[in-house]
Structure 1
């Protein structure tokens, strides 16, 4: 019963491991692009599960105690809170963590290079247009890929 609570390393090892792995996974997710985060596919879910499994030993260092798990949970939730707080209070920090919106189209002209760079398929772009009630590319005033992965379409006023 004692083994359930006994740490295999000092408590601060768990905090340090959590901070390092949180930072690493955050950087990897940022590098993967906005679209990968905003639009989950079954493959994205598999990837997240495998990443969680891959970083597990890096976080807990092989420790299976309840105390270690509790320290890690508090550390990760605390880090997530600090990132959310920093993002809410500082625009430069928010841009660092979340990135910036990407212009995909403006004044009826679609930036095909931006679509490719952000991994937005033609079908996804057309779907965003349909959702926005935009029937033609020529009616687009501005289309942006937001940092949450959603495509926001602003239409021009059209005269009939």
Structure 2
């Protein structure tokens, strides 16, 4: 039972940390971020299992993780008010070609980073963007006013 309790606490701690760090940071992984994830995984494993290296302990922790993952997914699907808390909401970064500075600051996203994302989607000028939305996955969706050049 101790393993189930530990895994439950760690699960919700990880959920909280991912919500606090922001989806933009989670959407773009740098090598340092990958290394940090591996280290966090090792620390979490040690905190959850302590010195229990048994197959039974591993199965209990994995089963608890699976049940919690499915439960939060189900709750997010069935209980609409929880969806924003568990998954987040899309955030509009550009509306009718105008940057929404408050939302950029809230997500710690610079205009240069937004321009770089636009360039990766073949958009040269942010003024041509009708809407730019930071999705819950950390990706940015762009909707343009006009057809791109050469179309």
- TM-score relative to the length of structure 2: 0.86
Partner of residue 34 from structure 2, selected from 45, 51, 60 = 45
After the TM superposition, which of the residue ranges 47-56 and 122-131 deviates more from structure 2? 122-131
Query: Aligned pair 1:146/2:135, yes or no?
Result: yes
Offset of residue 91 of structure 1: 2.6
What are structure 1's unaligned runs of at least 5 residues?
A: 1-11
Q: Deviations over 1:51-96 (max 9, x none)?
A: 1112222211321111101100111111111112222223322210
Which residue of structure 1 aligns with residue 63 of structure 2? 74
Offset of residue 99 of structure 1: 1.4
Q: Deviations over 1:5-55 (max 9, x none)?
A: xxxxxxx11111110110011101110001122121111111111111122
Which residue of structure 1 aligns with residue 19 of structure 2? 30
Contact 1:128 1:153 in 2 (8 A): no
- Post-superposition, which runs of at least 4 consecutive aligned residues in structure 1 deviate over 6 A? none
Query: Aligned pair 1:99/2:88, yes or no?
Result: yes
Partner of residue 128 from structure 1, selected from 107, 117, 133 = 117
What are structure 2's unaligned runs of at least 5 residues?
A: none
Q: CA RMSD in A?
A: 2.0
- TM-score relative to the length of structure 1: 0.82
Aligned length: 148
Q: Secondary structure at the match of 1:119?
A: coil
**Rounded Cα–Cα distance in structure 2 between residues aligned with 1:49 and 1:80:** 20
